Structure 1
Amino acid sequence: MTCARLFRVHIAAGAALGAAAFGASANAADLAVKSPVANTVYNWTGFYVGGHFGYGDGSLGPGTNLLPAQGVFFPRSTTGALGGFQAGYNHQFSNRVVLGVEADATFPDALDLVRRPTTSFNTSLDYVGTVRGRIGYAFGSWMPYVTGGFAWGHSAVRVNDAAGNAISEPGLYHTGWTAGAGAEFALSGNWTAKLEYDYVDLSRRTLDLADFGMPGVPIDPRLHLLKFGLNYQFGDSPWSATPTQTRLPESSDWSVHGQTTFIAQGYPAFRAAYSGTNSLPPGGQIQQTWTTTAFLGVRLWEGGEFYFNPETAQGFGLNGTLGLAGFSNGEAQKAGAEYPKIRPQRYYFKQTFGLGGEQEDVEEGPNQVAGKRDIDRVTLVVGRFAVGDFFDGNSYAKDPRADFMNWAMWSSAAYDFPADLPGYTRGGLVELNRKDWAIRAGLFQVPDAPNSDVLTFSTNGGMTAGGVVEFEDRYEIFAQPGKLRVGVFGNRGNTGNYSQALAIEATDPLQDINTVMAGIRKDNLKYGFYINAEQQVAKDVGVFGRLSWNDGRSEILSFTDIDRSLSGGVSIKGSFWGRPNDTIGVGGAINGLSASHRDFLAAGGLGLLIGDGALNYRNEGIFESYYAYQVNKSLTLTADYQFIANPAYNGDRGPVHIFSGRAHGEF
């Protein structure tokens, strides 16, 4: 693929998806980032796109009751951890002066709602954008510079009721200026890295809160932003048919990839005898989600690697990701947001200890540095990741960005895997791999309460954690490969027991069952198992199936309201009709609940995602089909249809017909 074609691909993807994540050409990204060579003549002229991650602080003005953003390893602050995208152009003159222009968008971390002040209103920052000039001086492969220009942003005021719940979130746009300085360094290939400080001064504006019986709030943003960024340099003529030569030599010690996924979902009106707090609205609805992720990896030493995945997420699942146990959009986080929020979703160390013998090639890819490794090996992983990154894998139903979207299709749905609201946890795992089998085990933090965004190893003064052990067998049937994975899991967390809550509520029916449940939470154990199989039946045709179960005695902590689940389907590649990179998938799932879990919901109980206020119990049934059309190596478009019978296990509601469109870009 020529550089010109690649550049057009990313311009088209950006128009379709709203932005490009650390944008670069597909071929360029397939080249591992390389180490610079001394005395290389380097020229900074050309277009570039990239992304940044960092930390910021500042003020929104006195009396604004700041609602701070999370800071990960750093203190919570006005922006907390921050990240976003940038694009620009440089021109280097013969005297080594470099003039350039750059535009960027920066988004703060998720709001720290757990520790928010108990006031009638709180103020927060949604995003900041700038258009700046840059003046630098090239010292070969590094360039210090100063920068400044126009800035704008958006603030929001969260108006709270007496219980602290938001009843309205009006906002204001601000304009202003920015100035800063930084240095950019050529890393390898066409990749450069930069470290930059920016001061942002936005206009003081007053938000009128008279409709809520309060005086206006003067908001006066002053921000200090420290950003580390990566840029891909396209050169001066990215539209040229002649491929541009990489600027520096290559190395296999780095890996840089990215993805961006936009999903729009909607459903028409459906039958509903009644609705409750967590019910899917029967009148119909359309929602969208958008995520953008950078996959950054580096080899530290022999067998040692570090991976970091900052991700922006924006949008909401249908009904705020409420109303279905087998939810329809795997990209719909429980921490939805109107504006993009940045989170460092993964940061983990991986150490591989080879045991000798036969080796295999490791292809360069997302969270994978190219090289060789022993087939017989022990692997240790420690850090933050999703449990599904290493457990419950499946070649045909695992990634809602590429295949099935429904939660009950890409996961063993009765496995209440430990996770915060976006679906990630912290912990460690160890794996022993052999040629025909593997065994892996992990220990993870769990939320401090059901549906909490706070991960912990201790609640109520006791030890809490989630653990899983999985055995994987690899085999062939009639020369066709297959895999069988069997996992057992247990979570000890701060949950309430369904039967106990029902017994207490029965002594005084005027009590609210949810208040009773919250009052009896303690460290309880939930355990279960899953069986996960995949089998290729012919070239480009595969089938899969999952069976999962948990004891169903206490509340779900993290995933979704499912105690028993059976799913399966077929995946067919398009080689049969001349489209070898297209995929068609057809599958279904049946979800169920334990008896005490049903009774809790029937009594008006609320689960993580469901709760209609009453319950005419039926198994929740799901049918899903999709067609993924690969436009080119960087862009795939998908049409998806889901039929959901008895949504949230309620025979008095539904069925629901959900139609989805997905655009997925990657490099």
Structure 2
Amino acid sequence: MKYARFLLVAALLATPMFARADEAPLFVPQWLGAQYTFIDQHQYSLHSPYAGALSLRPDGDTERSHTFGAYFGVALPAHFQFYFDVEMFKGEGVSGATGLGGLTNGDVIRSGSAGLPKKPYVARRYLRWSLPLGDEASDIERAQDQLPGSQAARRIEVKIGKMAVSDDFDKNRYAGGTRSQFMDWSLFNNTAWDFAADTRGYTDGVMIALVNPTWTLRYGIYRMPYEANGQKLVSSLGDSNGQQLELTLQPHADGAVLRLLAFRNTARMGIYRDAIAVALATGQVPDIHADDAPDRHKYGFAVNGELPLADHGDTGLFMRAGWNDGRTESFVFTEVDRSLSGGFQLSGAHWGRDADHVAVALAIDALSSAHRDYLALGGNGFVLGDGALHYGREQIVEAYYSFAPVAHLTISPDVQYIRNPGYNHDRGPARFAGVRAHVEF
């Protein structure tokens, strides 16, 4: 009950003294929305001839997670807007959210190793500026981090402050929201894209976009964490940063979309081959963290596509492909160096339930040769470490049904099947079943 009171208090504070969200007046804060997501997930027992500190638990596991959020915005003069979001989480993922490249609960926070307090925190706090470049405009409705009103079809857009990099990059209509779509990490983001973030998934930075009706070019630069999977960010962008450039092509409104992304990270990272060389020389287990040094680089590329087929776009296909150099350690998101995924969403309009949909997808994740050799010698990353490795690509299948019994509520049974969990042919397969309830206002 105390978690529900958190959202209720936020709503009560916002409602009487804040303006109606469809008015969008200057200087008056507006409550844009709130959400609660509950996930109950079970991991079945799996074949496990050996295990390390970061392996999936051989005997299985059942965990529950809760996330809460309240979202606010205010319109300012000269095309400025300010957004402020508060979130909270409880619970954790199965097996401590370790043992896989494609972790199975995208809404969970890795709190164990980072020791994050489970209390309200500021998720986003940023200023947005938009400069119209023409008279053509469209109306937009209230949504999370979106004030209602009119928006120019051609514009320059700038965001600065605390935000999530994935708010603006690698978006996908069919596989971009873990609270209502696919839950596996390899299906709601490109896992080979190691974007800047703290442990909770947020960072400080700047995003600049040139938006047109048929194409958009975005550039972002953000602060990296001081260490892998760390909550502490570097003091300035000059110390280390994550940069990305993305071109979005959409020749026809509501038609096919293609996104091309390139990224380059500079951070205090270790190099897999150097850590292996030290281990072979000393007879010890390799430790990538001990090799951390400033001004190391990681770069990569990603492709992201969506293809609406029918039902006003509610039925369609999606795909992603990603690659990074795999030379320096996986640092922020998860431990994947190459990724390929694709899937299908079918609208419930075909059986008389327009608000429902069913979806199924497949993802294949892989490691660079240096990364797999490091794990084979017993090295640990921040989500992987079986103590040894008989390498095989991690193969993931996920299916879910999104059932909307009433407005604002979806209930989603979800199943996942993973071969070679943690890229280890000696382990698994791993099976997961869960149910997700999501309330959004």
Normalising by structure 1, what TM-score?
0.63
TM superposition shift of 1:480: 6.7
Matched residue SS, 1:447: coil
Counterpart residue number, 1:335: 111
d(CA) in 1 for partners of 2:130, 2:269: 36
TM superposition shift of 1:512: 3.2
d(CA) in 1 for partners of 2:116, 2:212: 46
Instruction: Assess if the C-alpha contact under 8 Å between 2:83 and 2:127 holds in 1.
Output: yes
Q: How does 1:290-369 map to 2 (within 5 A)?
A: 290-335=66-111, 340-369=118-147
TM superposition shift of 1:258: 0.3
Among 257, 279, 290, which residue is 1:518 paired with?
290
Matched residue SS, 2:120: strand
Instruction: Assess if the C-alpha contact under 8 Å between 1:482 and 1:536 holds in 2.
Output: yes
Counterpart residue number, 2:307: 535
Among 498, 503, 512, which residue is 2:277 paired with?
503
d(CA) in 1 for partners of 2:400, 2:90: 23
Counterpart residue number, 1:653: 427
Counterpart residue number, 1:435: 213
TM superposition shift of 1:520: 4.5
Instruction: Assess if the C-alpha contact under 8 Å between 1:315 and 1:338 holds in 2.
Output: no
TM superposition shift of 1:513: 1.4
Where has structure 1 moved over 4 Å in runs of 4 or more? Answer: 247-250, 336-339
Q: 1:641 to 1:357 in 2, by over 3 A?
A: same
Counterpart residue number, 2:177: 399
d(CA) in 2 for partners of 1:447, 1:580: 43
Q: 1:264 to 1:499 in 2, by over 3 A?
A: same
1:603 aligns to 2:377 (yes or no): yes
Q: How does 1:71-110 map to 2 (within 5 A)?
A: none
TM superposition shift of 1:18: 6.1
2:304 maps to amino acid: N
1:483 aligns to 2:257 (yes or no): yes
Matched residue SS, 1:266: strand
1:19 aligns to 2:16 (yes or no): no
Greater RCO (CA < 8 Å, at least 6 residues apart): 2
Matched residue SS, 1:475: coil
1:272 aligns to 2:257 (yes or no): no
1:471 maps to amino acid: L
5+ long unaligned stretches in structure 2: none
Instruction: Assess if the C-alpha contact under 8 Å between 1:431 and 1:441 holds in 2.
Output: yes
d(CA) in 2 for partners of 1:351, 1:267: 45
Q: 1:338 to 1:650 in 2, by over 3 A?
A: same
Q: How does 1:632-643 map to 2 (within 5 A)?
A: 632-643=406-417
Q: How does 1:414-425 map to 2 (within 5 A)?
A: 414-425=192-203
Counterpart residue number, 1:579: 353
Normalising by structure 2, what TM-score?
0.94
d(CA) in 1 for partners of 2:52, 2:20: 61
Among 603, 613, 626, which residue is 2:387 paired with?
613
TM superposition shift of 1:301: 1.7
1:192 aligns to 2:4 (yes or no): no
Counterpart residue number, 1:51: 10
Counterpart residue number, 1:217: none
Instruction: Assess if the C-alpha contact under 8 Å between 1:480 and 1:538 holds in 2.
Output: no
Percent of residue pairs identical: 37
Instruction: Assess if the C-alpha contact under 8 Å between 1:255 and 1:366 holds in 2.
Output: no
Question: Which has more strand, going by share of residues?
Answer: 1
Q: How does 1:117-266 map to 2 (within 5 A)?
A: 191-193=15-17, 251-253=23-25, 254-266=30-42
**Which structure has the larger Rg?**
1
d(CA) in 2 for partners of 1:597, 1:399: 29
5+ long unaligned stretches in structure 1: 1-13, 24-49, 53-86, 88-183, 194-229, 231-246
Counterpart residue number, 2:341: 567
How many residues are paired up? Answer: 433
TM superposition shift of 1:357: 2.6
Q: 1:298 to 1:249 in 2, by over 3 A?
A: closer
Matched residue SS, 1:441: strand
d(CA) in 2 for partners of 1:451, 1:249: 37
d(CA) in 2 for partners of 1:365, 1:518: 44
TM superposition shift of 1:248: 8.7
d(CA) in 2 for partners of 1:520, 1:313: 31
d(CA) in 2 for partners of 1:492, 1:248: 44
d(CA) in 1 for partners of 2:107, 2:353: 26
d(CA) in 1 for partners of 2:116, 2:160: 32
Instruction: Assess if the C-alpha contact under 8 Å between 1:528 and 1:549 holds in 2.
Output: yes
d(CA) in 1 for partners of 2:3, 2:235: 39
d(CA) in 1 for partners of 2:149, 2:184: 35
Q: 1:249 to 1:391 in 2, by over 3 A?
A: closer
Among 433, 437, 440, which residue is 1:663 paired with?
437
d(CA) in 2 for partners of 1:355, 1:549: 35
d(CA) in 1 for partners of 2:308, 2:5: 35
TM superposition shift of 1:332: 1.2
TM superposition shift of 1:338: 9.8
Q: Deviations over 1:389-441 (max 9, x none)?
A: 00000000000000000000000110001110011111011000011000000
